[in-house]
A and B are shown apart, each in its own frame.
Chain A
């Protein structure tokens, strides 16, 4: 006989604890527990059997791993939270007694916790951290746009906007933006940093109001963690490319609402050499520093094709000195035993030679001017990320490197209807004709397409083509572009045939018999030939006959596939096991749902198309 096993001493009953037990064990308040969970990234688990985990009770509770809670018990932050509780008591006591000086000294020495160790714990490697900054970026960008209130101190908003600007600066500098999408919720950006795809959402520039059913404390706790995380991530990113972190802020530019341009990107080496001088110098040229360098770099890349690139005025310090160094090529020394493996080893050079999926210097040859009504932060970021040069009027903020009358401007991003300008001077007219006026969607669509699209459909005042998501949908989803090309054409054909059918039927009834013959003859080639001959004899146009045959074939195919195969598969379904049957039903259900969605959209599209055609015919 084995040892007696007592219930609740092993297995799920020990591995999971409920939330209330966890709080009791940690001896903290629920709010503190939540805060800890947020900071430490601990979340409830779903036990396989809730009953077994909850000692036989099936009451709805959330379970945590007992080990998670045991780790939490040794958390320094928890200790600090307890200290803070004591501090709060002391402070309220001092304030209640009117002991202002002791309250002040208490306040000065209030316990503050640090999250560094948590960052290191949650993200042991840098890639782990980078993989998880999507939510952090969304929050930072949201809070950077929020108005401050008693719950959200202005310093927090300021810090968020600083972090947001730092991220944008890094993306612009490293050219790692890949996709952008203008949605109704905001602008989605997707960047590729160190092979990690990072997607973040930035709200449009409108004042956000915090709804009453949102717990700001929770958001602020998350934000606390995110700020620290992003600080460390940016530090690593900046130092890896040889920049100083944090980038110093130019107060004057910041006051003139320069946005991203208010931060100065400093080379780490420059700083160490002569910090004071460079600072002044950088301040002077900062507006063009980043963009100018980018332009230079991209121009250098395409220098071989364009001979006049040399006369471009370069006002930014060049740092890519090591470009000239010749890199030694890996020479393959094929081993005799395993030749294939050695030859297949990819080298850095071979990888570089591979065609890049996206052209990061897409806008390098162009210079943009932002019209007043377009959002500067969005398009400045987009254009500069893809190597373009951009200027904006003073009403959109300071720090514009260009003037509106600059000759180099090739495109004007404008988002207003065309207005006749009778009092136009010749000069203005000339400028207008020289430039291309495009709507903002053109920029985003060009980025997503990876090439410069034709400007004509996006010209000022044109009704825009639909803006599609660059992120794609699930496999087999409805693709609006595909249907537009193929199905509609087929649809037209079919409807034409239908129209002809009616005509033929009107003309003579003799053909109906022929039609029947054609229908019957589809299966067999010999009979088909006979039928063709008969049709010829009857004096029917061969093209109509062919159409007839095709139509009947389609019909017969449909009916046969529907009839016989369905019945057979239905019969075979009987032989499935119960488990398989359930799985099959589940998969089939989701598939049917998707198909329904797809067919619904297709149907809608066809209807719209028909309506449009009708309108076209009547008008």
Chain B
């Protein structure tokens, strides 16, 4: 508080000092100027003076003000002027018109100017001569400009806010004073200035003198003031007085047209209907009419206003109708029933219906369709009834169970015995009629394939395990057969070894170690050739071919038992070999790769033909006992029947299994074949082949046998027929080996 008070006091003092200084200076200056003023009264008179700044602060008002002042002054100074000079303000000193004594003419006489103090208003002139410059340039300086002599004009003392406030309170004229920037002090406004302000407030012309309704002075019009002489000397053109030729021509053209009746004035517009006439009267045009648009369907009973009650929709029907999109609805209306015709309301969607019909007419593409009016049952081929094609297996007669997936089975050539192998390495030998197991072998690893030798004078079968083929002799054979078998499989004098060393080794244990349990002969396939998935015998029973999953070209081997020799028939095979088959009659060899079946002539060693079944992945194939037909099954569910005489393309493609086909087999004597699939079903077909070339083979589906369980996505893995009976043996992934009898 004290500090503040002190500081304010200080400032006050300082302010007072300043004020006193400026005051002194100003006084000096004023005195100086007074002296000076005497000389240049005249010059100052017309000069634009500094005017106290008011809100508008316009130049004009300043001038006006100045003129007022000067007039007032002149009025005051003019001695001979009339008393009305106060009201009649004139720019110039008042003029008197007198008749000259000398010339006798009127002359103007101006009042004489007396060169005294009162004659001019320049005494009030400000000492500051800086001119019309922005005064803020002097804001930071102690002076506000310079006077006539180049001396500084100091800023007058201005006091602080309080002083100013007190001044406004005390001084009655303070509200009519304004701040003069040039003098840096408040100056009271004159009466004239106040009057101007009042006028401006009242939206009047600030010039009190201005008369808005001055009478018009006519300078150029009126009698006696007309221009007599032309402005130019050019002669007047002809067009001013001669009518246009072209206009005349145009008009005459119209006139002529009207006369001739080509133009009908005020012709009534032909609003009446277009006249109709016999448009089809003359000979009709030769071009054919465009196809007529299809007619809309005629209404049915449900559209009646009073339909039978059963046509009325239930609540669910209504809901369903409302929920479906209008485009998808079968009918565009809901059937309704009214007890009387007078109750039938107008149909809301009538116009919409018509509009939709029109949209159909001009926007919908039209296609001409032949309407098929056929009985669908006539499309089903007429085949002989299965009951007329008996015998074929119809029921499951017995079941032998393996603990693992029964992947391979084989039926002995006499059709009395079955060997079945599973993935656990167990091979069972059992009897077809009652299913009694006679013998069981156990091998290491999975059993990939089993095949009985087709010779009837000997009896043995081959079992394929990892990299090995085992030749086994069933027990309880008649002595003669056993002897012959042993002599074939393990002859006392071995045939001479081939010149070139083969990667396939044939080995026979010594005769004294022979038991029922072990193999008489074992073929060691080259290492890493993998599990032999298929073994197939030539019909004579001397050659057998094996297909292994491993190795590329080493996958197929043909083994000759009598010479104990193995050879790989193909140096290189394109694609992975799936299956091989010997032709039953000719020295031909079928090789099925993933997509093609190739037929080779073994004696001539050349490719005969390539069959294209169109299957993505061939799984199985079998050749008809006649040797002219081949069936190929694939993992993509297709079964192709090839007529080898006919074409490379299948004669018939069937697709009836719902999963991949696993195995196919033709019956050796009956006209039957069976297919098994991963869907757990076995299909039996009647397949009659005719000897003449004209008749197509007859294929009749006979029976679907179900009874295998699907395990791990696998169904029935192999089917084999018994040679003497229409009986079928099937091995499934569920470990069951079933016998199906007729």
List residues of A whose CB falls within 8 A of some B CB.
Answer: 34, 37-38, 41-46, 62-63, 108, 114, 116, 119-126, 128-129, 131-132, 134-135, 138-139, 142, 159, 181-186, 188, 199, 203-211, 213-215, 218-219, 222, 228, 231-232, 234-236, 239, 245-246, 373-375, 415-416, 439-441, 463-464, 466-469, 471-473, 477, 480, 568-569, 571-576, 578, 580, 583-584, 587-588, 591, 601-602, 604-605, 608
Give the chain A neighbours of B4 by CB distance below 8 A: none
Contact with B289, one of A128, A214, A440 (Cβ below 8 angstroms): A128
Contacting pair A186 B350 (CB below 8 A): yes
B303 within 8 A of A: yes
Would you mind naming 26 contact pairs between A and B with Cβ atoms under 8 Å apart?
Answer: A44-B363, A116-B279, A124-B288, A138-B354, A184-B336, A185-B350, A203-B350, A205-B346, A207-B346, A209-B351, A214-B351, A232-B280, A466-B307, A468-B301, A469-B298, A469-B303, A477-B300, A480-B301, A568-B386, A571-B386, A573-B380, A574-B701, A575-B383, A575-B699, A584-B380, A605-B310
Contacts known (A480-B308, A575-B701); A124 close to B303, Cβ less than 8 A: no
Contacting pair B380 A468 (CB below 8 A): no
Contacting pair B301 A124 (CB below 8 A): no
Contacting pair B347 A204 (CB below 8 A): yes
Contact with B341, one of A185, A441, A575, A578 (Cβ below 8 angstroms): A441
**Proximity string of chain B (301-317) to chain A, C-beta cutoff 8 Å, 1 when within and 0 when not:** 10111111111000000
Contacting pair A466 B306 (CB below 8 A): yes
Cα of A47 to Cα of B642 in the assembled complex, Å: 38
Contacting pair B354 A576 (CB below 8 A): no
CB distance from B142 to the nearest CB of A (A): 74
Contacting pair B310 A219 (CB below 8 A): no
Give the chain B neighbours of A234 by CB distance below 8 A: 276
Select the residue from B285, B292, B346, B374 with max chain A CB neighbours within 10 A.
B346
Give the chain B neighbours of A208 by CB distance below 8 A: 346, 350-351
Contacting pair B304 A439 (CB below 8 A): no
Contacts known (A469-B304, A584-B376); A184 close to B278, Cβ less than 8 A: no
* Chain A binder among B364-372, B552-560, B733-741: B364-372
Contacting pair B341 A139 (CB below 8 A): no
Cα of A57 to Cα of B339 in the assembled complex, Å: 57
Which residues of B198-257 have CB atoms within 8 Å of chain A's CB atoms? none
Give the chain A neighbours of B303 by CB distance below 8 A: 181, 183-185, 469
Cα of A572 to Cα of B534 in the assembled complex, Å: 33
Give the chain B neighbours of A62 by CB distance below 8 A: 363, 365
B597 within 8 A of A: no
Contacts known (A45-B366, A571-B702); A185 close to B347, Cβ less than 8 A: yes
Contacting pair A43 B276 (CB below 8 A): no
Give the chain A neighbours of B367 by CB distance below 8 A: 45-46
Contact with B278, one of A215, A236, A464, A568 (Cβ below 8 angstroms): A236
* Chain A binder among B152-160, B267-275, B712-720: B267-275
CB distance from B457 to the nearest CB of A (A): 41
B586 within 8 A of A: no
B290 within 8 A of A: yes
CB distance from A462 to the nearest CB of B (A): 10
Give the chain A neighbours of B374 by CB distance below 8 A: 587
Contacting pair A222 B274 (CB below 8 A): no
Contacting pair B701 A184 (CB below 8 A): no
Contacting pair A114 B273 (CB below 8 A): no
Cα of A375 to Cα of B308 in the assembled complex, Å: 23
Cα of A232 to Cα of B274 in the assembled complex, Å: 10
Give the chain B neighbours of A439 by CB distance below 8 A: 340-341
Contacts known (A126-B280, A467-B307); A583 close to B340, Cβ less than 8 A: no
B379 within 8 A of A: yes
List residues of B whose CB falls within 8 A of some A CB.
Answer: 267, 269, 273-274, 276-280, 284-285, 287-290, 292-293, 295-296, 298-301, 303-311, 333, 335-336, 338-342, 344-347, 350-355, 357-359, 361-367, 372, 374, 376-377, 379-383, 385-386, 652, 654-656, 699-702, 704
Contacting pair A184 B379 (CB below 8 A): no
User: What total of A-B pairs shows CB separation below 8 Å?
Assistant: 254
Select the residue from B280, B288, B656 with max chain A CB neighbours within 10 A.
B280
The 6 tightest CB contacts between A and B, nearest first, are A206-B346, A471-B298, A604-B310, A571-B701, A235-B276, A587-B376
Cα of A123 to Cα of B284 in the assembled complex, Å: 9
A38-B361, A138-B357 given. 17 additional CB < 8 A pairs? Answer: A43-B363, A43-B364, A120-B280, A184-B335, A185-B303, A185-B350, A188-B299, A215-B355, A218-B359, A231-B276, A235-B276, A416-B340, A416-B342, A466-B301, A480-B308, A580-B379, A601-B311
Give the chain B neighbours of A182 by CB distance below 8 A: 304-306, 341, 344
Contacting pair A466 B308 (CB below 8 A): yes
Query: Whose C-beta in chain B lies nearest to the C-beta of A569?
Result: B380
Cα of A601 to Cα of B304 in the assembled complex, Å: 16
Contacting pair B273 A211 (CB below 8 A): no
Give the chain B neighbours of A574 by CB distance below 8 A: 654, 656, 701
CB distance from A32 to the nearest CB of B (A): 13
Contacting pair B342 A415 (CB below 8 A): yes
Cα of A121 to Cα of B656 in the assembled complex, Å: 56
Contacts known (A214-B352, A214-B355); A467 close to B284, Cβ less than 8 A: no
CB distance from A328 to the nearest CB of B (A): 29
Contacting pair B381 A37 (CB below 8 A): no
CB distance from A471 to the nearest CB of B (A): 4
Cα of A235 to Cα of B277 in the assembled complex, Å: 7
CB distance from B260 to the nearest CB of A (A): 19
Cα of A218 to Cα of B358 in the assembled complex, Å: 8
Contacting pair B366 A43 (CB below 8 A): yes
Contacts known (A119-B279, A183-B305); A218 close to B355, Cβ less than 8 A: yes
Q: Is the interface of B mostly helix, strand, loop or mixed?
A: loop
Cα of A98 to Cα of B469 in the assembled complex, Å: 111
Contacting pair B362 A120 (CB below 8 A): no
Give the chain A neighbours of B342 by CB distance below 8 A: 373-374, 415-416
Give the chain A neighbours of B365 by CB distance below 8 A: 43-46, 62-63
Give the chain A neighbours of B704 by CB distance below 8 A: 571
Contacting pair A232 B279 (CB below 8 A): yes
Give the chain B neighbours of A480 by CB distance below 8 A: 301, 308, 310-311
CB distance from A278 to the nearest CB of B (A): 22
CB distance from B698 to the nearest CB of A (A): 10
Contacting pair B289 A123 (CB below 8 A): yes
Cα of A533 to Cα of B345 in the assembled complex, Å: 67
Give the chain A neighbours of B276 by CB distance below 8 A: 231-232, 234-235, 245-246
Cα of A34 to Cα of B362 in the assembled complex, Å: 8
Query: Whose C-beta in chain A lies nearest to the C-beta of B385?
Result: A568
Contact with A120, one of B285, B345, B700 (Cβ below 8 angstroms): B285
Cα of A523 to Cα of B381 in the assembled complex, Å: 29
Contacting pair A37 B300 (CB below 8 A): no
Contacting pair A583 B279 (CB below 8 A): no
Cα of A505 to Cα of B140 in the assembled complex, Å: 132
Give the chain A neighbours of B344 by CB distance below 8 A: 182, 184, 204
Give the chain A neighbours of B307 by CB distance below 8 A: 466-468
Cα of A583 to Cα of B354 in the assembled complex, Å: 34
Give the chain B neighbours of A124 by CB distance below 8 A: 284-285, 287-289
Give the chain A neighbours of B385 by CB distance below 8 A: 568
CB distance from B321 to the nearest CB of A (A): 14
Contacting pair A576 B350 (CB below 8 A): no
Contacting pair B656 A206 (CB below 8 A): no
Contacts known (A467-B307, A568-B385); A210 close to B351, Cβ less than 8 A: yes
Contacting pair A38 B362 (CB below 8 A): yes
Cα of A124 to Cα of B655 in the assembled complex, Å: 54
CB distance from B704 to the nearest CB of A (A): 8
Cα of A477 to Cα of B655 in the assembled complex, Å: 35
Contacting pair A572 B352 (CB below 8 A): no
Contacting pair B379 A583 (CB below 8 A): yes
Give the chain B neighbours of A204 by CB distance below 8 A: 344-347
CB distance from B330 to the nearest CB of A (A): 9
Query: Whose C-beta in chain A lies nearest to the C-beta of B332?
Result: A185
Contact with B339, one of A122, A184, A464 (Cβ below 8 angstroms): A464
Query: Whose C-beta in chain B lies nearest to the C-beta of A607?
Result: B310
Cα of A473 to Cα of B295 in the assembled complex, Å: 15
